[in-house]
A = this chain, B = another copy of it.
């Protein structure tokens, strides 16, 4: 990431990171470590395992995902996550909210009257 302007996105990621994780899981069943790597690839360079696991635990606690434990070829067993119906509904809600907020903010940015 180009250093300087875009360090510490913490506050801006509140709410959105969970949505991103939901979206990633929605694409295909996957696990925490891989999700972290995926987020890093996408440009969320500073997101670390600990952060993703807290989100995953919360999704599980809130009944939005179906969890399956499977052995890994290398390392400890993996917990695979897939969206259930509640999770898909939550994901749809997230995108609706995101679009809503994004359009308002951009309107304000473009001199919004």
Contact = CB atoms under 8 A, between A and B. Distances in A.
Nearest to A38: B108
Contacts of A96: 1, 5-6
Interface string A84-113: 000000001101111011111111110010
A107 B95 CA distance: 13
Contacts of A98: 12, 105, 109
Main secondary structure of the interface of A (DSSP, over half): helix
Contacts of A60: none
Interface stretch (A13-21, A48-56, A72-80): A13-21
User: In the complex, which range does the number of interface residues on chain A fall in?
Assistant: 35 or more
11 contacts: A1-B96, A5-B100, A6-B96, A6-B100, A12-B101, A13-B15, A16-B101, A42-B107, A43-B104, A43-B107, A98-B105
The 10 A-B pairs of least Cβ separation, nearest first, read A11-B15, A14-B14, A5-B96, A12-B15, A43-B104, A6-B100, A12-B101, A11-B14, A6-B97, A12-B97
